[in-house]
Amino acid sequence: MTICAPTPAIDNVQSVETVLLLHGLGRTSLSMAGMRGHVARQGYRVICWGYRSMKEPIETHGSRLQATLAEMDNDPQVSKIHFVTHSLGGIVVRHALSEGSPKKMGRVVMLAPPNRGSRAARRLLPIFGKVMRPLSQLTDNPDSMVNQLPVLSGVDVGIIAARFDDKARVEETHLVGETDHLVVPGFHTFIMNRQDVQDQVSAFLRDGKFR
């Protein structure tokens, strides 16, 4: 866990709202650099929560994230915990929250998440399955891991999908109980770098809905 943007310098404030950024499959926290800067400018502490996305199963990442959340619940400098995720990062958060939400639970914004499984993951599995361990867990097969995750309850979840996404199609991003859902023109890989997406992330973190 790395604090990748400084804590806002606000007088007489003992704790601040904190946003965890989770990157997608095959990426690193550097892929969220643009989002990191934008969120930090809104006054949040930003934590880049990195993980070995290709080498370990989703359950491993989710359990490690759950341990991080337990630590943050006991950190007096953290007043609320939000999440902004890209692709696989959203599924890691879902697994972590399935083990229990933190007491300081805030809001979740998922960018292009394969919440209902991915047809592309199923097609790529025979080719890349050995080097991308979570790929089999992300397919659109009814019995895949992602399709067996429980419904999130009591959590505000906003989802932004890319209209021309061939990795997580718009219909694959929906989640039962989602608070809001938005489709933007664009593609999967760099959706987090769009200014309109960054602005919508800020709106949801602040108001619990997209503009």
Number of domains present in the structure of the chain: 1
**CATH number for 196:** 3.40.50.1820
Query: Residue 80 sits in which domain range?
Result: 2-207
Structure tokens at 66: 């759950």
Distance, in Å, from the CA atom of 32 to the CA atom of 183, rounded to the nearest integer, reads 20
201-to-108, 111, 150, 193 alpha-carbon distances in Å: 9, 9, 24, 11
Q: What is the pLDDT of residues 176-202, one digit of tens each?
A: 999 999 999 999 999 999 999 999 999
Q: What is the pLDDT of residues 133-182, one digit of tens each?
A: 999 999 999 999 999 999 998 999 999 999 999 999 999 999 999 999 99
Structure tokens at 2: 């790395």
Q: What is the pLDDT of residues 152-161, one digit of tens each?
A: 989 999 999 9
Q: What is the mean pLDDT of residues 10-29?
A: 84
Structure tokens at 7: 């804590």
- DSSP conformation class of 118: B
